Structure 1
Amino acid sequence: MTKKILLSVFILPAVMAFAQQYGGMWIPTELNEKEMKDLGMKISAKDIFNTQKPSIKDAVVQFNGGCTAEIISPKGLLLTNHHCGYGQIQAHSTVQNDLLSNGFWAKNPDGELPNPGVKVDFIVDIKEVTDFILEGTDNLVEPELAKKINKNIEVYKNSQKIESYQSIIVKSMYYGNKFYAFTTETYKDIRLVGAPPQSIGKFGSDTDNWVWPRHTGDFSMFRIYAGKDNKPAEYSKDNIPYVPKHYLPVSIKDKAENDFTFVFGFPGKTTEYLPAVAVEKIMKDIDPARIAVREVALKTLDEKMRTDSETRIKYASKYASVANYWKKWIGEVEGLKKSNAVEKKVMYEGSLVAKNHEIKTTLDQLNKLYNDQAPYALNNAYYTEVVKNAETLKLAGDYYDYIASVESGKMEEKELTKLKSKVTSFYKDYSAELDAKVTAKLLALYVNKTAPQFLPAGFSKYKDENQNIPMIEEMSKNSIVTGRSQVNGAALTGDIEKAFSNQDKLIKTLKKDPVYQLYASMKETYMKTADPQFTSLQGKIDDLQKKFMAQQMATDKDRKFFPDANSTLRVTYGKVKGSTPRDAVSYGYQTHLAGVMEKYIPGDYEFDVPKKLIDLYNKKDYGNYKDKTGDVPVGFTATNHTTGGNSGSPALDANGNLVGLNFDRQWEGTMSDINYDPRFSRNIMVDTKYILFIIEKFADSKWLIDEMKVVK
């Protein structure tokens, strides 16, 4: 009976005709064009990616190294998520002029706000360069193999002729079995054009994050500026709006279930080809550890943010960042269980072994290595999350690295300048008093969840968070790391140049600093008792994973493989679709403005609604943006296989028109990073009708819509 159940789970995706069996994040030069057309695509692969003439790829950029954005006008108008532009909106906000709460809309190009340091990257070309990069590596093993590959990469990059504003990035695919070169073009003058208030752009906030049905207007608008030759240039008042090779027409046609859609963007990281044992460790050990740490940090921050506006603004972006993956990991664990991911992997591995018995040896070795690594991997998860989410320890880590660099003679002036800039920026949004509480609570969790052999001597004194709070607060008060004590006559939070003026004195003072010493004891114990073992075993796992990947590709001739996401440009596709994630629970594919009003809670920080939006709803003043129901569509779901980094990606229809803006996944399907399952995996998009409705009717910014090509 058990075998029959497992088999039905394993083969189920193959009979789900509306989506790929394995999902897919396809390199745009290697699209699965036949399946895309079978599902309804009307354009060709060359319309999506072409180096000989303008194509859709010329309208898609990586936004500031993380999210995706797309060009939607001939004047370089850029659309991305509200949460992708959140840091820039926050940077322009003050208590007196709170753009997060009030929103921002430039009334003309002169009102657009510059964002120093923000950049966008176009992909100019993609080439497979495997033979070149792996030349001369046949008989090499680590570390000589990595050295030779790196040398070959540098030789390749130096052999290519590019412009000063271009770069070549060579990326490993399929765990080192293939290599691709990406030629990029970077623009550095990016200005904020518009953003709805967070009561629209972040509606539902943390409660609705990763959840469907969703009613969030998660979008913001920027513009790319260029020199007068239309080429990249540093910020200047004399720069002009960038004229793109291609921009996306914006469709406001109604959607229907099973409409073809595809998403074009820069997905961050997936691990679809891991063995069953690795998936089991993630599900049972690693994710639960990460969740536990972030839960403590978030609860402590939330208590303060709800009662203090200054803290709310200061910590808004950071809180959202921490909460994002906390909730994602919770959904991932549930999704892995629900989709029977481990059992499915075991059966797939059995089918591979039946065709190629050599794979059994590889899997046996992987099983042993993962089990040997387990205690070190768990400590790694707790340690890295604690020192990342206790900001006081994170700061101490920066100064620890600074001292190590100085004492080894590796601290160059430019690195010192970068450090000063980094910590100055960090202190701007840091509360030493609040983080003392976070640190105290996280230390208690760390002590209680960590095996004694991984703890510094005497660390058991931090077992009780209530006793920790006054202890850590006292440390914080007497620390230069926190900026509450001075060195060289200045606080690091104030005159940083003065604080760094006498380097010897600064280093001596840091070494005696109570917060620094606390971090140092944790770091040095971790580096002695866990990191070498974890890293050594991971290196062996990586070597075998490369072999396992090659064996999968050579053995399973019926499967069309795509490389795991690694922040490079990819296409994923599927169909507009609702879902049935649980027994007797069925979700439609579309939400509407009426649903926003159903969730509305006056004064609530997550579900408040601007008065003007309520008035527009009550008057039914929807313009061209209502659908056949008579309401304005807000969001929709489809079977596209997306992940982090796809935030802000354009969702396109069968003809390549923009129909939505990707911003999330459905909670029940967040395990798709590891195990795509078409029953549960849904990406969530803002409907273009809602975006244009907010711009025109709510923001009175029709001048922006007049720039666009709107398909009605």
Structure 2
Amino acid sequence: MKKLVLTLLSAVLLTPFSLKADEGMWFLMFIERLNHRDMQKMGLQLTSEEIYSINNHSLKDAIVQFNGGCTAEVISKDGLVLTNHHCGYDAIAELSSAEKNYLKDGYWAANKKGELKPSSLFVRFFVRMDDCTKRILGVVNDKMTEAEREKAINAEIAKIEKENNEGGKYVVSVRSFFQGNEFYYFVYQDYKDVRLVGTPPESLGKFGGDTDNWEWPRHTADFSMFRIYGDANGNPAEYSEKNVPLKPKHYLPVNLGGVKENDFAMILGYPGRTNRWMPAGGIEQNVKFAYPAWVEGAKTGMDNMKKYMDQNAALNLIYASKYASTANYWKNRQGMIDALTKFETAKTKAAQEAKFNKWANKAENKAKYGTVVETINKYYALTNEKSRHDNYLQQLLRTSGMGTISRSLGRQLENYAKADAAKRSQMLPMLTEMAEEMYKEMHIPAERDILAAQLALYATKAVGYPMAPMVKKIGEANNNNFTSYVNAAFDMSIFGSLDRVKAFLQFPSEGQLTNDPLYVLSADLITHFNSKSDEIAKAQNDFGAAFRLLVEGLRESKIATIKYPDANSTLRLTYGKVRSLPADKRNDATINNYTTLAGQVKKYKKGDAEFDLPARVLEMNANKEFGRYADKDGSLHVNFLTDNDITGGNSGSPVLNGKGELIGLAFDGNIEAMAGDVIFDKKLQRTINVDIRYVLWVIENFAGAKHIVDEMTLVK
């Protein structure tokens, strides 16, 4: 499972409001002014300076963005990093082989020499942030088109990034908030030498599979461990045997006391994206057009991967990561459809917009805001069918390795064919390596089936918007059965095998490449996906300006109750409490805010891909071998619930008690509140976390890797 998960800013800093403590993803720099008193009432014992400080070490120094899409935390003085199993999945899969299958069997480095370096993995430390709203908005005006506005903003952003990167030492990112009404810049430092320390076997790390994904009760050891390395001075460095473990500015102590109902819990992490300012028309478009196409396209890709993955371990490894990512969003989008429909979220938003529209058309507001809602609704009406079309095509491009070949390896081969002999000689090793890596992640018979099935789905379902010309032509000639065409294309194509690509590298021909059937098809699909009519281009321009005005007006009028901008992969803090859901007969726990190892064993199905368990776990449960990690009730707690406000990107985030001690690891949300990216449900929304005691039990008691636990600072 990947999951693949804010702030009150300057305009409202002095505005009093009633705060729901469990809602909101907040900027750390505003904690003292906005949240600290409320957090103290709930159980926080830290000062705001201990959470976020520029001059002294603080909690923020122990939190890293993991490989650009997840969160992780430093938990030892030697740079040990903890994140989710599904966040480390790609790296673990890359390091695995049929003979040494770390995904299936797990891995625990006996010492630092045994730690494994994947080819590409990095962590990002947050250094500081600051407001640059006045500067950015000072270079734009209301007469600009959206394209002109974007160009002016990007030019100013480039200056800000250059001014703050200290000659390349830091990565600087300027991000917009409140739909382009405010801007902040963030300074980061990246470390690229990150090595695998340990991972539980997949039967624990991914226990429950797709069936339990987004569900409660859960019983999953969703964690993996890595270590950050730097040079002798602690600076970022490319991989080298001479590098040493990083001595972090701050690392998290680990609390073994467990949790109970209403305990304070805060989470720091990098939530990816929420859409809580999304207009009603956008929600309606997603529910009726975009998400159903996404779900069907994802399922088509998954089904055609799975029939090969089930054949043997080697094929399973090839597609394990792509399948897991596709499956995660497949279930997520279906859950979004169900939740948004059930709670009539679009209707709620429409009522808010009607209220806004009435305010907007008052004499004093009409010139600025009067046509905002009309413009937004016109845009969605125009693009509904395009959104359905684009999601079918997008899933084709995401699940088929050949769908994007023209802009990946194909583009490089075209440059190679155009180059002179000297340049080709220089490019050859890189292209050979690139091709070998790409074909490691493809099984050609599977790629044939995936592409043919996705083309057929696209051709028959994306019919309300003009189709890619080649697909239309091929479909009409073959009654939308693409199997024969795809098989013939693979048979003739340069890209039909690694050997043919290598042969092309020896005897390159630009004409052969530009007439290659898979290259031409891919180019046609991508060109069509990126194209838009003048009418849609104008509607997008008008929509961009109108959406920005909608958010500005909702805040100005105080019609909106949200006091924070959407998540956008910047560091945020969310706080709440340990909080149960109504009693559930599927959970053996005495209160429905945690699960136990006994409950996990009850789900056990021998030989089942999702619910098998190691024999050692069954024995240890029967003998109650829980050691120092047993709860006061005598059981071993596995997962627990809090009401924190998180989303994708928060995967791997630390769950902390009031003292800033690690009590758990966030990894999922519950499907009942799947609308949470659009609207927060204070009654139903929960974060599902791995109990840190279960993590340590797996490492020390199950795996026998006590030396890893010994690195940590444990608090009883």
TM norm. shorter chain > 0.5: yes
State the partner residue of 2:446: 434
Q: Establish whether residue 368 from structure 1 lines up as the match of residue 373 from structure 2.
A: no
Aligned residues: 680
Distance 1:375 1:629 in 2: 56
Matches of 2:327 and 2:87, distance apart in 1: 15
Per-residue CA deviation, residues 314-350 of structure 1 (Å, 9 max, x unaligned), is 1111110111111110111111122221122122223
Using the TM superposition, name which of 288-297 and 542-551 deviates more: 542-551
Equivalent residue number for residue 487 of structure 1: none
Instruction: Provide the residue aligned with 1:330 in structure 2.
Output: 334
- Give structure 1 stretches of 5+ with no counterpart: 1-16, 485-489
**Is it true that 1:458 corresponds to 2:473 in the alignment?**
yes
Q: CA deviation at 1:44?
A: 2.8
How do 1:262-661 and structure 2 match up within 5 A? Answer: 262-357=266-361, 358=366, 359=369, 361-398=371-408, 401-402=411-412, 422-451=434-463, 453-456=466-469, 457-461=472-476, 467-483=481-497, 490-492=499-501, 495=502, 499-503=504-508, 505=509, 507-526=510-529, 530=532, 534-556=536-558, 559=561, 561-580=563-582, 588-661=592-665
Relative to structure 1, the CA distance from residue 278 to residue 111 in structure 2 (aligned partners, 3 Å threshold; closer, same or farther) is same
Amino acid at match of 1:500: L
CA-CA distance at 1:648 after TM superposition: 0.8
Amino acid at match of 2:461: K
1:253 is paired with a residue of what secondary structure? coil
Shift, 1:544, TM fit = 1.4
> In structure 2, do the counterparts of structure 1 residues 533 and 502 end up closer, same or farther at CA, with 3 Å as the change threshold?
farther
1:710, distance to aligned residue in structure 2 (A) = 1.2
Deviations 1:170-202 (A, max 9, x none): 111111111111111111211111100001111
CA contact (8 A) 2:474 2:482 kept: no
Take 2:462 and 2:429, find their aligned partners in 1: how far apart are those partners?
Answer: 37
Shift in CA distance, 319/534, structure 1 to aligned 2, threshold 3 Å:
farther
Contact (CA 8 Å) 1:396, 1:481: kept in 2 or not? no
Percent of aligned pairs sharing the same letter: 34
User: Which residue number corresponds to residue 29 of structure 1?
Assistant: 29
* Counterpart residue type for residue 81 of structure 2: L
Which of 75, 78, 81 lines up with 2:78 in the alignment? 75
Cα displacement (A) at 1:426: 2.2
Query: Do the aligned partners of residues 351 and 312 (structure 1) sit closer, same or farther apart at CA in structure 2, a change above 3 Å counting?
Result: same
> Matched residues in 1 for 2:325 and 2:297: separation?
14
Find the residue that maps to 1:579 and give its secondary structure.
Answer: coil
1:187-226 equivalent positions in 2, closer than 5 A: 187-226=191-230
Q: Does structure 1 retain, via aligned residues, the 8 Å contact 2:657–2:663?
A: yes
Asked if 1:689 corresponds to 2:693, the answer is yes
Question: Secondary structure of 1:370's match?
Answer: helix
Q: Is the 8 A contact 1:261 1:576 kept in 2?
A: yes
Give yes or no for contact 1:18–1:575 (8 Å, CA) kept in 2: no
| Cα deviation, residue 597, structure 1 | 0.4
Alignment-mate amino acid for residue 71 of structure 1? V
2:5 aligned residue: none
Contact 1:24 1:562 in 2 (8 A): yes
Contact map agreement 1:444 1:462 (CA 8 A) in 2: no
Q: How far apart, in 2, do the equivalents of 1:80 and 1:536 lie?
A: 44
Distance 1:692 1:709 in 2: 12
Q: Is the 8 A contact 1:265 1:570 kept in 2?
A: yes
Q: 1:579 Cα shift?
A: 2.5
Judged with a 3 Å threshold, the aligned counterparts in structure 2 of structure 1 residues 571 and 552 are, in CA distance, closer, same or farther, namely: same
The amino acid across from 2:541 in the alignment is: G
User: Is the contact made by 1:104 and 1:195 (CA closer than 8 Å) also made in structure 2?
Assistant: yes
Q: State the AA in 1 paired with 2:58.
A: S
| Aligned residue runs from structure 1 range 45-60, under 5 A | 45-60=48-63
Q: Which amino acid aligns with 1:685?
A: N
Instruction: Report the more deviating stretch, 153-162 or 350-359.
Output: 350-359
Is the Cα contact below 8 Å between 1:60 and 1:71 reproduced in 2? yes
Mapped to 1, the partners of 2:697 and 2:486 lie a distance apart of 50
Shift of 1:583: 13
Calculate the TM-score normalised by the size of structure 2.
Answer: 0.89
Which AA in structure 2 matches 1:55? S
More deviation, 128-137/217-226: 128-137
For residue 42 of structure 1, what is the aligned residue in structure 2? 45
The 1-side partners of 2:585 and 2:374 are apart by 37
User: Deviation of residue 385 (structure 1)?
Assistant: 1.8
Task: Give the CA deviation at 1:557.
Answer: 7.4
Q: Is the 8 Å Cα contact of residues 80 and 221 (structure 1) preserved in structure 2? A: yes
| Deviation sequence 1:455-507 (CA, Å, 0-9, x none) | 52424348767x433442232222212327xxxxx522xx4xx633454x0x3
Three-state SS of the structure 2 residue aligned to 1:35 is helix
What is the SS of the residue equivalent to 1:176? Answer: coil
Pick aligned residue for 1:699 from 688, 703, 712: 703
Contact kept? 1:447, 1:462, Cα under 8 Å: no
Specify the alignment match of 1:61 in structure 2. 64
Residue number among 92, 98, 114 corresponding to 2:95 in the alignment: 92
Q: Distance in 2 between matches of 1:533 and 1:615?
A: 66
Cα offsets for 1:424-453 (capped at 9, x unmatched): 322111011112111111111111112273
- Alignment-derived partner of residue 113 in structure 1: 116
Which residue pairs with 2:161 in the alignment?
Answer: 157
C-alpha distance in 2, partners of 1:272/1:408?
Answer: 48
Counterpart check, 1:130 vs 2:133:
yes
Q: Structure 1: how far apart are the matches of 2:235 and 2:326?
A: 37
Q: Give the 3-state SS of the residue equivalent to 1:391 in structure 2.
A: coil
The amino acid across from 1:620 in the alignment is K
CA distance in 2 between counterparts of 1:473 and 1:667 reads: 40
Shift in alpha-carbon separation, 1:352–1:41, aligned structure 2, 3 A: farther
Q: Evaluate the alpha carbon distance shift between residue 683 and residue 406 of structure 1 in structure 2; reply closer, same or farther with a 3 A threshold.
A: same
Structure 1 counterpart SS, 2:483: helix
Query: What's the CA shift string for 1:88-142, capped at 9, x where partnerless?
Result: 1112211111111111001111211122321111010011111122223235513
> 1: distance between equivalents of 2:608 and 2:399?
26
Equivalent residue number for residue 253 of structure 1: 257
Deviation at 1:600, TM superposition (A): 0.6
Structure 1 length normalisation: TM-score?
0.90
Shift of the 326–150 alpha-carbon distance from structure 1 to 2, 3 Å rule, reads same
Q: Is the 8 A contact 1:658 1:688 kept in 2?
A: yes
- For structure 2, list consecutive stretches of 5 or more residues without a partner in the other structure: 1-17
Q: Which moved more, 1:60-69 or 1:420-429?
A: 420-429
Give distance in 1, aligned partners of 2:667 and 2:333. Answer: 17
Instruction: Look up the SS of the partner of 1:427 in the other structure.
Output: helix
- Give the whole-Å Cα distance in 1 for the aligned partners of 2:672 and 2:437: 37
**Distance in 2 between residues matched to 1:408 and 1:147, nearest whole Å:** 32
Q: Residue 141 of structure 1: which of 139, 144, 153 is its match? A: 144
Q: 1:428 to 1:399 in 2, by over 3 A?
A: closer
- RMSD of aligned residue pairs (Cα, Å): 2.8
1:335-390, Cα deviation, whole Å (9 max, x unpaired)? 11222211221222234345443455311211111111222222222222222222
Residue 526 of structure 1: CA displacement? Answer: 4.7
The Cα shift of 1:532 comes to: 5.9
Aligned to 1:12: none
Structure 1 residues 553 and 237: CA distance shift in structure 2, 3 A:
same
